[in-house]
Structure 1
Amino acid sequence: MKLYTLDIACLERARRALARPGHRLGSARELLLSEADRLCRTPPESVVSKPTPAPGGDAHDYLSLAPDAWPTLRRTGGSGWQQRDGNLNPAAQRDDYDAARLARMTDRCLTLGAAWYFTGQRVYAQAAAEQIRCWFIDPETRMRPHLNYAHSVPGDLAGQGSGLYETASLWKVIDSLGLIATSGMMDAEDLAALRLWFGTFSDWMFNSASGFEGYVWHDWRGTSHDAQRTLYRLFCGDSAGAANVIRHGLTLRLAAQFDREGRQAAALDSDRPFSASLRNLEAHLLLNRYAEQVDIDRWNRVCSGRRVRAGLEYLLPFMREPDLWPWRDRVSDEQTRVQRVLLQALRGYATSGAVLREALLGMPEEMQARREWLLWYPDEREN
């Protein structure tokens, strides 16, 4: 089993814990399987399901609306579109576009893959494999490996590099392949087709105009670009390429984004400071994880006095006491991401275990039964 983002040690700890009657992870397992059963009764997601294709006329092209794009009346008559910073349009999440569909697809793969891992019931692995083939391989339903029409503004911009953040969850697909590997549901031909898809997409990310636009962002969008491209290079067997992205990002991202106290100036100056800070921190934690696989200790790397750990330590008091956050957005709006960040940080920063566990266990009660506890279950000897 090859996992890139998840850690087999955490999964094995969770499986051992579940073997003990009455363990608190039982509630998380029940919710996971309930959702997996529901997904098995629903058809796979596909980009060709949208009612209107992308501007190029091909339904296989991914299409999303810039989240801050709104229709507006023009002084000269007629209607148009404009972007309003910080004012999110709920239409961007409708199924006229592919953003919500992509998010459902990646979450579907991970849920079904985890359900197979924790039960060994082939129906879950089969459903995960069907979804992966539908989105990436089958000629009738596959997505083309580019985002030329992501974050579009009708009548103005065909696509923008900022749309690359919408594919940040593709790690769930890649790790679901590892989770279901022993089921035999994906063969060598399937895996070769997937590596071709992700290799082509990785090349597009750096060599196309829109893809490179995503790379040059100096905030969480740029860090997410690095994390994605690193993962895709690892998945395609290009360890040297992955290491190059990581090393270059130490200066471009780590040293440039954090101050010595862990504050992120660009994030704090944005419309949603906590969300932007947390998204960037999560992308850095993913890069820390991927760096392990090319023998780079990024968890403890100090670059020009800047550390990822300092970024975590700056946000941690606000994760524990959300009302202390002094800026305009709300910490409570990001509870799922906070939990995921804390669990990943607990894996990488064991010496901060006590305070991280306290923050995790202090979250709302309903968060204690989330799937994330199964995926990143910490060492019980320190619980």
Structure 2
Amino acid sequence: MNTKSAYALLLCCFFSQLVFAQVKLSKTDMVKWNFKQLAYNKKQLQKGNAVFKPAYEQLLHDADSLLGYKPVSVMQKKDIPPSGNKHDYMSLAPYWWPDPSKPNGLPYIRKDGEVNPEVKNYPDKEQMPKLCENVNTLALAYFYSGNENYAKHASKLMRVWFLDTATRMNPNLNFGQAVKGVTNGRAEGVIDTRQFIYALDAINLIKGSSHWTANDQKGLQSWMSEFLVWLRTSKIGTDEMNTKNNHAIWFDAQTLAIAIYVDSLDLAKKIIAVSKARLDKQMDANGLFPLELERTTSLHYSVFILNAFNVVAELSDQIGIDYFQTKTSSGKSLKMAFDAIMPYLLQQKTWTYPQIKPFGYTDAFPLILTAERKYGYKDSMDTLAKILGADLGRLQLKLL
């Protein structure tokens, strides 16, 4: 066996532990959609381009299975938030436990890495992302197939969570990532709702369906407008806005997606400007993010923050601003960040910063797409093809 073959075998063996289990768990990979690319792919599919057929068939299979997915809501949690109102979203900080030395267990104490099973009494944090993922899949299937059943069910799911009086979530995160006996809610909880970005993508695809009505659109825009005000004016929201790491970028991504959805374009442009300033401050001269490198899973968080910037760039593109090629005041750019991380994702370099857990390679899928389309990394999809083989053709990634 020659050196090149041995390296390829080693690469595949290494990724087999990181990738294949992940692929079975995630078919959407929560990629921020580029609507021009979707339109192009749809035309190619209609022309009979066989490249898209396996992924299209898998998409319809997944969407068909989701027609039996029952609506979820914030009303399904067992315990009641401090407000006394189940309509308020609530989640518990997972690593905090009752203090056994105290009669009532309060205040809770931190046990890093150990998840308190009490979090299951507040399933909002688990149900909301799954809802957004499923709506995302149904909307994509509707877009490609025209099957109204997919749009109908996606609309129903969105109404139950956001609009119906009996089940709607109140537009706040006052009780996100709570620590009993310490705080009813924390700024860290704001990142819980980053999946709203992908739900709004879905609405953009089903808004032409008769099952998503003008009243639905008006109602969701009103809800999102209220939520946007809460994000930008509440203490929890502003604390999150003023953080210095990936949380700040995901805050920008969320607020930008909502601002565009509710047609607040002046605000959207201001958020983009703030995000560029954050890129300038948070990224070092090598294109990496020092605060993320300090984490014990630094590769994950380095990819995580770049995914947030990638979402901001895609959203900026929707309103005619080229974030992908823009340089900051000190000459930094998003391309620098991609150039820094891609050699590690393509296994051309070995990651030497802390990473105490296996890296979930599907986290990198959105970056790999962008690297190929925006920055000329043609070998990135080739690497995925070597790793996944036929599985790559069935992933929704091929349709995005």
TM-score, normalised with respect to structure 1:
0.89
State the 1:333 CA deviation.
3.0
In the other structure, the counterpart of 2:377 is 353
Q: Which string of whole-angstrom CA distances, capped at 9 and with x for unpartnered residues, describes residues 129-180 of structure 1? A: 0011111110011100000010111222111111111111111211111111
State the 1:271 CA deviation.
2.6
Does residue 130 in structure 1 map to residue 156 in structure 2? yes
2:190 touches 2:237 (CA, 8 Å); kept in 1? Answer: yes
1:318 touches 1:331 (CA, 8 Å); kept in 2? Answer: no
In the other structure, the counterpart of 1:334 is 360
In the other structure, the counterpart of 1:11 is 38
Q: Equivalent of 1:107, from 130, 133, 139? A: 133
State the 1:82 CA deviation.
2.0
> What is the DSSP-based 3-state SS (H/G/I as helix, E as strand, rest coil) of the residue aligned with 2:134?
helix
In the other structure, the counterpart of 2:310 is 285
In the other structure, the counterpart of 2:22 is none
In the other structure, the counterpart of 2:9 is none
Q: Which string of whole-angstrom CA distances, capped at 9 and with x for unpartnered residues, describes residues 168-222 of structure 1? A: 1111211111111222211211111111111111111110011111111111110
2:244 touches 2:282 (CA, 8 Å); kept in 1? Answer: yes
Does residue 54 in structure 1 map to residue 78 in structure 2? no
Can you give the 5+ residue segments of structure 1 that lack an aligned partner in the other structure? 377-383
Does residue 217 in structure 1 map to residue 243 in structure 2? yes
Change (3 A) 1:233 1:344: same
Determine which structure has greater relative contact order: mean sequence separation of CA pairs < 8 Å that are 6+ residues apart, divided by chain length: 2
Change (3 A) 1:100 1:92: farther
Can you give the 5+ residue segments of structure 2 that lack an aligned partner in the other structure? 1-30
- Distance in structure 1 (CA, Å) of the matches to 2:397 and 2:357: 19
> What is the DSSP-based 3-state SS (H/G/I as helix, E as strand, rest coil) of the residue aligned with 1:182?
coil
Q: Which string of whole-angstrom CA distances, capped at 9 and with x for unpartnered residues, describes residues 2-40 of structure 1? A: xx9422332233324434668243332233222212221
Does residue 257 in structure 1 map to residue 273 in structure 2? no
> What is the DSSP-based 3-state SS (H/G/I as helix, E as strand, rest coil) of the residue aligned with 1:73?
coil
**Alpha-carbon RMSD:** 2.3
> What is the DSSP-based 3-state SS (H/G/I as helix, E as strand, rest coil) of the residue aligned with 1:59?
coil
- Distance in structure 2 (CA, Å) of the matches to 1:91 and 1:316: 37
1:64 touches 1:97 (CA, 8 Å); kept in 2? Answer: yes
Does residue 316 in structure 1 map to residue 342 in structure 2? yes
* Letter matched to residue 377 of structure 2: G
- Distance in structure 1 (CA, Å) of the matches to 2:190 and 2:371: 24
- The number of residue pairs the alignment matches comes to 367
Map 1:297-312 onto structure 2 (within 5 A). 297-303=322-328, 304-312=330-338
In the other structure, the counterpart of 1:205 is 231
State the 1:62 CA deviation.
0.5
User: What percentage of residue pairs aligned between the two structures are identical?
Assistant: 24
Change (3 A) 1:271 1:70: farther
- Distance in structure 1 (CA, Å) of the matches to 2:180 and 2:121: 16
State the 1:229 CA deviation.
0.7
- Distance in structure 2 (CA, Å) of the matches to 1:93 and 1:10: 39
Q: Equivalent of 1:166, from 182, 192, 198? A: 192
Moved over 6 A (4+): none
State the 1:47 CA deviation.
1.0
In the other structure, the counterpart of 1:295 is 320
Does residue 272 in structure 1 map to residue 313 in structure 2? no
State the 1:331 CA deviation.
8.1
In the other structure, the counterpart of 2:26 is none
Q: Equivalent of 1:181, from 207, 218, 242? A: 207
Does residue 41 in structure 1 map to residue 68 in structure 2? yes
Change (3 A) 1:267 1:205: same
TM-score, normalised with respect to structure 2:
0.85
Is the deviation greater in 130-139 or in 32-41?
Answer: 32-41
* Letter matched to residue 196 of structure 1: S
In the other structure, the counterpart of 2:260 is 234
In the other structure, the counterpart of 2:98 is 71
- Distance in structure 2 (CA, Å) of the matches to 1:15 and 1:52: 45
Change (3 A) 1:92 1:348: farther
